[in-house]
Structure 1
Amino acid sequence: MSTTEIISQARALLETSQPDQALELLTKHLNSHVDSTQFLSVYGETLLETNQLEQAYQVLSKACEMDPEANEGVEKFLYLGQIIGGADGLNYVNIALNKLSAYLEDLNNGNVDQGLLTMYGGSGNDVSKLRHWIIEKLNSGIFGEIEVWMTDLCMEPEAESKCEELIQHSLKLDDANPEAYSLLASIRISQQRNPDAVVALEKSWELFQAKKTKLEQAANDAAEANDNNAFEIGMEYVELIQPLLTLSRFATELELYDRAAVIASSVQDINDSILDSYYIEALAGLFKAKQLLFNGSEEEDYRDIDINTLKQSDNPEITAILNEAKSTLTQGYKIINSDAVEDCDLGLVEQVNELLKELGGPVMSELMPRRGDDEEEGWEDEIQSDEE
């Protein structure tokens, strides 16, 4: 099997969320491909996907040493920069960004790299697809650099100006990228420019909605036409989950509780087994209820009000919100008590259980199987036997 075939098979496994199988395939061929930077790059990526950070660092470091100018791929520099972080990490990311910028400049001047076109232009060697790939990778690196400046290097005097420079460059590359506006909202929050953060967040949500709707329509069309692109569309749809969760957290931080709940709920359209979405939706509702009870008083932070105090309120809107939060968390409770809990953060599981306990426990009627489900016949007898 050639190096190209091995890499192609490994990438297919990674794209279908089978990193363990990809690692098994690559490990089997490692000894005969230790001099291939492209092989080492995908091998390092696979090690990252299987949470073997130290091994990934060593493999990717070697691959970068073998190809210091990123002539045989930029991904290894992006991944290594992500692992290292700090100023040293930025140096690696910048190598990738410089190479990608050169590719884009050549493309804009009509000079198409045939190797890149074959690899990233799709089956029809589409230049627009290649351009999309280059800009997507550029933004990936830019977002990574912004994260470093906002975390590892946040105390550096130039941190704020660097973030501003990078996010504006990203928006210039693609002014319809919802993740760029989400990150812009995060930057504005850190600058305590909340009104501007709200504007950026609303723009991000508008673009995410449009993208989500477009992908849903494309998926339906592909399914009807038996199109081979259905899988790629599905993967792009699933990739919306984490950015939407992030955006819903920003909305919560900005006290846009209705918006936060709607964004979190939209994740459930994509995958109804994501515990975070139910938690954020319920939390946003509870903050809204606390805000209503607080009624503008400046004596204390309304977010410090406990749930027992909320439960004592005779405000029908607050009561309705508490019932809705309880119902939402009950859906999360069902996830916790299913096989899907294996993919859940244990700390989040504890938080959901704690909130539910404070609200009086899950809604029992929503935990009962639907009558008429053949596989659930006899559930009444099971409950009776548990009580005996």
Structure 2
Amino acid sequence: MTRTKKSKPGHKQREEKKLAAAAAQANSTGGPIDAASLIEKAHILLGQSNFELAVKFLDRALELQPTNLEARELVGIAELEAGDEDRGREHLLKLFPPNVPESPSHPSPYLYLAQCAKEAQEALGYYSTATAMLEKSIADKDRKGKGKQDSIADEPEDFDEERQMAVTALVAMIEIWMSDLCFEPAAEKNCDDLIQRALSISPNDQEVKLTLASIRMSQSRFDDAKEVVVSLYNDLEGREPFDPTLPALPARLSLSRLLLEHSKHLEALDILSTVREEDSLNVEGAYLEGWAFYLRAEAIKENPGLLKPTSTAVETKEVIEGEAEDGEPMTIEECLSESMRSLIECARLYADQDYEDEGIGSHVAELLVELEKNGVVPAIHEDEEDDDGDVEMA
């Protein structure tokens, strides 16, 4: 398919109509159509996240060539991405014996099956196979590239993608051992082994470092965890919202939680400011911001010396509120007002989105009751519209 150099008004709509017409033709019994062209169009649709239409193309391709493994894998992926786990899983399992002579030799089907696995051990099995494949490929390419002048930064994009897939799968395995299988005798050792493998593949990966910090926290090695968390924050300090070098929002939320665990309230607020700017509807972001301001107020109560003027940028109103003021640390009253503002917003978002995390809902409700009882008035920012509607927490 040839791409136009410039996108004209209505171009996207016309392309979608063409693809829809092609899909209708693909599902008809007549017409000069072949599986290869259907698969090619399905690739385009998958790239556009148009999973339902991609399924139609791929279903027709499988009618024409029932043994086409590429079509079978792609339709399984498309069904999973569209939300039908049972159908997606059914298609992917047909890539394995006894349906075919040999199991897939590439990691993709294993990774998708791991994500929709019904049991923890099943997921681990698929992840283990996928990571073994990826680590072998990475090691082979490392050996071939040894002695050359090319740096990792100059490696092909698919090699970087392999590294990312490998560490993501290893982190997913660690999460299983730390949650579903946390009481297993081998859980701690397996977590240590897996994180070392991830670090050997990508030692500077932020998600890997976050996972390392979580492991150390679970092992009560708090100083080690704090060292990792502070190092991570130092790497990100000063980056503006929407900076492409910032980790994904879930990783930043995890880092904020870990910073709060170590009483790094202002550092957590610094990271959360980027989350709130990029996604103002994020429930957890609003919750953690309110909780961080609350904890900061509590810290000042215990240590009034925190109110002394500081030259550190993160401890000024400029960073916390996004406004250039006097550079003085926020008072207890200001922190509590900001906390209440964020928590009220979180409560509204929680109700609007019918958010599933009951722990956040109950904690926000508890904090708001306490703040109201103590006569705290929510802060009002100049760019906010007044909204006096009451919110009821589940």
TM-score band, normalised by the shorter chain? 0.5 to 0.7
State the match for 2:111 in structure 1: 78
How far apart in 1 are the matches of 2:303 and 2:384?
A: 40
1:192-212 Cα deviation digits (max 9, x unpaired) = 1111111111222334458x6
TM-aligned CA distance change 1:80 to 1:254, over 3 Å: farther
Contact 1:181–1:204 at 8 Å: present in 2 too? yes
SS class of match (2:95): helix
- C-alpha RMSD over aligned residues: 3.6
Contact 1:81–1:93 at 8 Å: present in 2 too? yes
Does the alignment pair 1:10 with 2:45? yes
Unaligned ranges ≥5, structure 1: 15-20, 112-125, 217-232, 297-315, 371-378, 384-388
Contact 2:170–2:195 at 8 Å: present in 1 too? yes
State the match for 1:148 in structure 2: 176
Does the alignment pair 1:55 with 2:55? no
Q: Pick from 45, 58, 62: which aligns with 1:29?
A: 58
Unaligned ranges ≥5, structure 2: 1-35, 146-153, 305-329, 390-394
TM-aligned CA distance change 1:250 to 1:333, over 3 Å: same
Contact 1:10–1:26 at 8 Å: present in 2 too? no
Aligned-pair CA distance for 1:264: 1.9
TM-aligned CA distance change 1:323 to 1:196, over 3 Å: same
Contact 2:174–2:194 at 8 Å: present in 1 too? yes
Contact 1:333–1:362 at 8 Å: present in 2 too? no
Contact 2:257–2:268 at 8 Å: present in 1 too? yes
SS class of match (1:272): coil
Greater mean deviation of Cα atoms: 166-175 or 102-111? 102-111
How far apart in 2 are the matches of 1:157 and 1:329?
A: 40
TM-aligned CA distance change 1:165 to 1:326, over 3 Å: same
Aligned-pair CA distance for 1:349: 5.8
TM-aligned CA distance change 1:288 to 1:44, over 3 Å: farther
Does the alignment pair 1:182 with 2:215? no
How far apart in 2 are the matches of 1:362 and 1:60?
A: 55
Q: Pick from 120, 125, 128: which aligns with 1:91?
A: 125
State the match for 1:328 in structure 2: 342
Does the alignment pair 1:273 with 2:269? no
Greater mean deviation of Cα atoms: 266-275 or 359-368? 359-368
1:185-233 Cα deviation digits (max 9, x unpaired) = 00001001111111111222334458x66973xxxxxxxxxxxxxxxx6
How far apart in 1 are the matches of 2:114 and 2:260?
A: 30
Q: How does 1:203-352 map to 2 (within 5 A)?
A: 203-209=231-237, 216=243, 240-293=248-301, 317-332=331-346, 335=349, 341-342=352-353, 344-345=355-356, 347=358, 348=360, 352=364
- TM-score for both structures, normalised by structure 2: 0.67
How far apart in 1 are the matches of 2:220 and 2:38?
A: 51
- Structure with more helix by fraction: 1
SS class of match (2:204): coil
Contact 2:272–2:289 at 8 Å: present in 1 too? yes
Aligned-pair CA distance for 1:27: 3.6
How far apart in 1 are the matches of 2:269 and 2:68?
A: 48
1:8-54 Cα deviation digits (max 9, x unpaired) = 2233223xxxxxx3123314532433544433434333433344333
**What amino acid sits opposite 1:240 in the alignment?**
A
SS class of match (1:175): coil
1:134-154 Cα deviation digits (max 9, x unpaired) = 101111111111112112222
Contact 1:70–1:96 at 8 Å: present in 2 too? no
Aligned-pair CA distance for 1:103: 1.7
Identity of matched residues, %: 22
**What amino acid sits opposite 1:107 in the alignment?**
K
How far apart in 1 are the matches of 2:165 and 2:364?
A: 36
SS class of match (2:116): helix
TM-aligned CA distance change 1:215 to 1:273, over 3 Å: closer
Q: How does 1:187-198 map to 2 (within 5 A)?
A: 187-198=215-226
- TM-score for both structures, normalised by structure 1: 0.68
Greater C-alpha Rg:
2
